[in-house]
Structure 1
Amino acid sequence: MAILTFLQGVMNWFIPAHLSGDLHTRKRVQMFIISHIFGPIIATPIPLFLWFADPQPLWHVPILAASIYGFWPFLALVKLFPRAYTPLAMASVLNLTFCIMWGTYNYGGTSSPFLVWLVLVPLLAFMYLGSTWTARVFVFSQITLGIVALYGFYLYGDFPTHIPVENMVVAGVLSALGSNIYVFMMAAYYSSVVDSQSELIKEIDRHQYTLKALTQAKDEAERANGAKSEFLAKMSHELRTPLNAVLGYSEILLEDAELDGRGEQIADLQKISAAGKHLLAMVNDILDISKIEAGKMALHLENVDLDKLIDDVEATARPLAAKNTNSFSVEKRSELGTVRADATKLRQAIFNLLSNAAKFTQNGQITLAASRNAEWLEIAVIDSGIGISREQQNALFSNFTQANSRIAAVYGGTGLGLSLSQNLCRLMGGQIEIESELGKGSRFTIRLPAPSEQSAAGQAAPIARAAVQDEAFLAESEAEADQRKAGFAAMSGHMPDHERRPRLLVVDDDRAFLELAERLFMKEDYTPICTDAPQSALQIARTVKPAAIFLDILMPGFDGWDVLAALKADPVTSDIPVFMISILSERAKALAAGADGIVMKPFDASKVKAALAGLKAVRGQPRAKAANA
């Protein structure tokens, strides 16, 4: 044991510091050091035998001995020139090849017993250098050249006969024994290293690769996002200006053509105008999505008369629905009143849903249904169109995504409308939910927080006070839940109708995780509001004022620590409990940064219950008390 400890200490002393961090490289350097320490000792009997067996050993035996013992100076060279390890390892392999070829040439030629040592050349080369293409070419080329040289001497010259081949039996035995001892020693050491470190190496390599990939992805995402933002900022004016000119002049020419009765030109100008409007709408959508992703989309809150808003949308959507000979109707269960919201963005989201319904429905029925309870505003667009399968719904709200390629080819579109509408609704603290069956139509429902007029009347303009009051925030009546059940279902299933549901905000860039979290929180009697856009978390929190926030740490660009700092720095959201979500145990760091706790991934029901135990214990109390619980 003491010998092994001493040997390990010697090897550690020779290993350069900059190579010790990489376990793969460290292992190769260890093999280099141990082979250079014991290699000359194992080969010593061969020059000793030749010295006494050869009548005239000068100078070929001393040259062979110098080559054998020349491996020891390589240890000092590696220590003195640590950054030259690779060329030193290649030089060592060349020295080994020369040693074998020199002994073979002087003692036996192509029948030399020393040729058995040639097997060590690729073995040691790959141990020192790794199995790279450079190492492969290097090893193959030098072995090939050596063998070709020997064969050339065999064909066109004579090998020296210092010792007859029949008298080389002892040399052959020594060569076979020495090479086998050498291979045995290296293989045994290599096997012990692999057995003791393989699992650790795999785990460390996996984490290092993941960390490196995440770092690279984060850097690339930041660079790409910066380049995209810069490009869009520069191009928005350049794109919109000529498009506005195209649309303006096409309208003028269209009016002139209609007055002059030029029928052929009217059709062409109408196509130009329609194409220009489509392109302008697409540019606007792309710019809006980019603003949301960059966290630069601002809400312009005002008191919106919902009944007037629905009437305006109806006036715009009715001729749109009539293009495919669809019937259009509006259903309002009662007067909707006013709500604090961004009228332009809400109207845009509703109109996008109606536009899709009109496009994918022919000779059918389109209904715009609106209702409101004490907490939620729900606006649904119901159609009897082609419908959407469950599999197609999963990616429906992604950028540039449509249900399938056939639909895109037949109906056109860019796949931006639903994504933009979902992002706008999430920015306002809500979301769009879908119910659909292939061939039987679809129902898209916009659900936005809408406090009652009485509770909203005493609140000021800031967005924090536009949220629901504490008591109403933590409880909802059975009648209101029954009203919601009558026509509006959540994306991942109907929400229980008899429960009181405080809201939770979940922020994670993994959509699969958001779906899981949504189901788990719903089972625990909470209403989850999920977003995969961390840049929008602060705005949503200010709008919704959730009972708690669950925040993933590792997110590209704007990570969880950045979001946590923004939440705690804002007086409106600073008292909201925040639980960090992570695959690593960073509780101390999370608490020091202002979080109330940390929930480890993978997420399951037991961890959800543990995190929410304090919140459930104080349900119904004012928010400030809940936050301190």
Structure 2
Amino acid sequence: MTASTFFQRLVNWFIPQHMSQDLHTRKRVQMFIISHLFGPFIATPIPVVLWLADPNPMPHVLILAASIYAFWPFLALVKLFPRAYTPLAMASVVNLTFAIFWGTYNYGGASSPFLVWLVLVPLLAFMYLGAGWLPRVFVLGAILGGTAGLYALYLVASFPEHIPVENMVVAGLLSALGANIYVFMMAAYYSSVVDSQSELIKEIDRHQETLKALTLAKDEAERANGAKSEFLAKMSHELRTPLNAVLGYSEILLEDAELDGRGEQIADLQKISAAGKHLLSMVNDILDISKIEAGKMVLHLDTIDLNKLIDEIEATARPMAAKNTNSLTVTRGAELGNILTDATKLRQATFNLLSNASKFTQNGQITLDVQRKSEASGDWVEIAVRDTGIGISREQQSALFSNFSQANSKIAAVYGGTGLGLSLSQNLCQLMGGRIEFESQVGQGSCFTIRIPAEGAIMLNDGLEGVVSPRPERTPAAVVPDRPVAQRYERSDGYAGLSGHAANHDSRERLLIIDDDRNFLELAERLFLREDYAPICTDAPQSALQIARTVKPSAIFLDILMPGFDGWDVLAALRADPLTADIPVFMISILSERSKALAAGANGIIMKPLDASKVKAALTALKATRGLARSKVAKG
């Protein structure tokens, strides 16, 4: 241990614990301790010389020496009574003032060489106590009080002459030297403090410049991320628009081929449909990740039956597992019960894990194990997917949950995939207040476990809520009947804005479909006709209100993203009109905006690409709800 280290530890040992946290207070206490450690050593030669030079040194030299060495007990008092630092520092200044004026009175009076020490009184007082109003008043009072006392003694008894003036030369030189050494020591320490503070200020300035640069970089990154999210959303829309036609028409053609027994065409159409669904899945994953990164992903918390959800997942996963001749086993705890979570996102994360297990396992075993566990923080749900597949090496596990990351290029080439599934699933679980844990060994398989709270997300990210605030009301644009209703549905290019099939199928249930994409309308019309509905299609959202008032459809399917008069404007106009306010409205969108749609007055939302099963499910749920309501009214 070096001498400087030992000295620093010694000084720190005397500093009271409650005063060591504040930098400025700590520096003042350090000044107090250092001056009291070295002060008596510096002043010691003065009483020694006076003792030798004074024929009768008793008792005034002993009193001066006692006053000088009284500085050391102050260190012990500060250590014993740390909360009394301020009064102890003030007492020390009084003691110093007394020593100076006592020496001045006994040796030289107004011409005493000891008066030079008086400059230390304000210097040390401000170093010990700071520069507040209390130290200023105290120091001024101590100096004035000491001076007044010295003058009063002079008036009463004059100054004693213990040592002739010619014999005071050595004592005067030692006094001046000691005072200068003391000031030098304190000034040197103070300058080091100032230098360190200057360095600290410079460091703060550097950090502030760094902070400014980081803030600018953060703003640029946020703008770039926003632009990326906007680009992905637009690209998603542009990609899904043709996918609507690909999947919709392939479904229609596939049904026709199955009815006609055209086996070769069935296989080709199945490949087209599978490729379209795979592309749609990738587009959905990319859009979901961009929404998570932008903090715009919303949780829809509902109470769900966990057993029923697992049954649905099992029904979907069994055919997928069987493709590589894998067997799927489902085990579950006895009391799963209901949980509060986002069923869609939990289903998506679990299905992604099962999809990976099925893809990377051949002729093996896949196990889906579901348990509910009670812990101190509440009930947790654990959904484990185990497989006997190829496994993952330790080197490859570090980037397992990164976007577009796969084990290696060889595996990607053999098994395919984009590397988005695990990253998206982990993000979804974190949004739900949980996480995905995993264990894996090469050649022995892997186990991925979803852990989420059973009673909703414990902590949601900024901007995420179980229930989203309603969309601000929009003033609907005026619906101007630019021409008679019967003429408005016919367009100059030959496209029937209002399908002519509606007039020939009055007995069928009428559905009004509003979308600015004519290809989508043609596809929707064919899909609904096959399901025995009477579709009424229009690509003129400004006319939607008048059409709805005229034909009184059983339900309205309304696209959200339309130029000018968009779906929200149409919905507001429909809900504001007494004749159309009660007609069920389902929003059609490529974006998951369920909460916003419900808050705006819609009955639900149907995601594109559109297929008849989604429409059937929506209408069936609506009829069941209305039938239950009518039953309750009748019983009441």
Structures share a fold, TM > 0.5?
no
TM, length-normalised to structure 2: 0.39
TM-score by length of 1: 0.39
Structure number, greater radius of gyration: 2
